[in-house]
Amino acid sequence: MISRLPHTCRVHSLRVLSRNLQTQARYEYPSRDEQDDGSFLPRSGLATPRQLVRYLDEYVIGQEIAKKVLSVAVFNHYTRVRANLAAFDDESDADPWSEANADDANSSVSSAHLHPHPQRALPHQLPLQPRQPVSLFEKSNVLVIGPTGSGKTLLARTLARVLDVPFSVSDATSFTQAGYVGEDVDMCIQRLLQAANWDSYRASTGIVYIDEVDKIARKSSSTTESSRDVGGEGVQQALLRMMEGSVVTVQGKPSSLEPPAPTARGRGSPAAAQQRPDTYHIDTSNVLFILSGAFVGLDTVVKRRVSKGSIGFTATLAPKEEDSDSKGFLPFFTSNRRSSENLLEMIEPADLVKYGFIPEFISRLPTLTTLSPLSTQDLRRILTDVRGSLISQYTALFGLSGVEIRFTTASIDQICLRAVERGGGARGLRGIMESLLLDAMYEVPGSNVRYVLITGDMVLGKSPALYWMRGDGPAFWAAWADEEQRAERHQL
């Protein structure tokens, strides 16, 4: 695009672009024909944890520990399922009592099978055989804890795009105990069955992701002894056996959602159509459960356990609350500012029990990982570096109207600083971008404007966005180059 400019503007632009600062999107927003995530990993082979982490790095910024934990959990889940299914096939093929000879089967007289008396047989000659094959490896469910906007849901959705297994995403906010208004816990298995195209065998080896799991914590303060917590502890009790491994009965697809069967000509008899069963039985022994939530207030529980007060002149005083006021209310958004120490990394099962979970529920989540709040550099990379970044999305959105939009370095820095003060993580960035580009998205469509420049003064509210008409491309690029040079001199 710079090749169309005059020589003087081209020189100024090249000087600015020679710096290492990334001001525009590294990846262009892919078109519908180019969106093929399946080409990254082979569908036939087993993706290694390193390959999964490398794939997640293109969409999620930071959170290296959480990426490793989820990648290892998914890889071990694949390996565990293959080993268990292979063991089941071997045990089903081997029958110790079917040793009849082929010649005896063809003849009318069969040879007798002599077995010793049970009381006279040695103990090692009669090993106990289970009626049902037992799994060789047990699964390890995962619990992901992190503040709002740190990338919990994005990690799950990114994994769902690349995995070749059924993957269902559910929200625990609407879960209630069976028999009450709301969704039953079995709905997550029904969504998994739908993701498997109603194949019960593939659904029994899938992955279930449940978001907002902190909303099912026991609400002891708001309930009395006579009332039942149908949305908290009742849901935890319902999830116990499902997470451990049991056979869940799921209703089939309703007949009203089925397409009408074509009728045959002649006597009007309907054509034979494949009828699905009314109920499905899904074994969750090989289903991996990944649970996540923000767990607002859990850091206070950890702080009370870690900080130990004492009396005396050399006593260690407990730190004061920084993010909460004197009344003890928590902020609506989680701040992006990093503290001196991440209290979520010191979480123990006892802290989750005090938060409102029953011990049986926590013991079924052996793998625990935490996500840290996003820093200013992380927010900047979310704007420019990752695939499907916000700047690439808005650039493509304006491009559909034939308009080219550019962001200066100063504008990106001010947007990140506003996001840090506002809180909310990556979701706060989208809210800021929507408010900044509201006037441009209102004025530009249907007008003669072909170029839009967002500067740092525009983010601060000192000046509006800069517009150029058709044919003013050299002036637009020259203004952008001047803003970049001004930002470079300011940094020096």
pLDDT digits (tens, 9 = 90+) for 275-284: 566 789 999 9
Which residue's entry shows tokens 């996500």? Answer: 371
Share of the chain above pLDDT 90, in %: 27
Distances (CA, A) of 23 to 205, 382, 441, 475: 44, 12, 21, 19
pLDDT at 419 over 50: yes
| Lowest-pLDDT range of 206-215, 320-329, 364-373, 465-474 | 320-329
Region 158-178: what's the mean pLDDT? 84
* pLDDT tens column, 57-70: 988 888 899 999 99
Name the band, by pLDDT with cuts 50, 70 and 90, for residue 238: confident
442 and 464 in contact (C-beta within 8 Å)?
no
Q: What is the pLDDT of residue 159?
A: 84
pLDDT at 472 over 60: yes
pLDDT at 226 over 50: no
pTM for the complete prediction? 0.71
pLDDT at 476 over 90: yes
pLDDT at 240 over 60: yes
> What is the Cα–Cα distance from 120 to 328, expressed in whole angstroms?
74
Region 127-138: what's the mean pLDDT? 57
pLDDT: which is higher, 155 or 266: 155
Q: What is the pLDDT of residue 398?
A: 93
State the chain's mean pLDDT as an integer. Answer: 76
Q: What is the pLDDT of residue 23?
A: 67
Q: What is the pLDDT of residue 191?
A: 92
295 and 355 in contact (C-beta within 8 Å)?
yes
pLDDT: which is higher, 211 or 113: 211
Q: What is the pLDDT of residue 393?
A: 92
* pLDDT tens column, 183-195: 888 899 999 999 9
* pLDDT tens column, 15-46: 544 455 566 667 665 554 554 444 333 344 67
* pLDDT tens column, 90-120: 665 555 544 445 455 455 555 555 555 555 5
pLDDT at 315 over 90: no
pLDDT at 273 over 70: no
Region 455-479: what's the mean pLDDT? 92
Region 133-152: what's the mean pLDDT? 80
pLDDT at 331 over 90: no
pLDDT at 289 over 90: yes
Q: What is the pLDDT of residue 67?
A: 93
Q: What is the pLDDT of residue 327?
A: 41
pLDDT at 427 over 70: yes
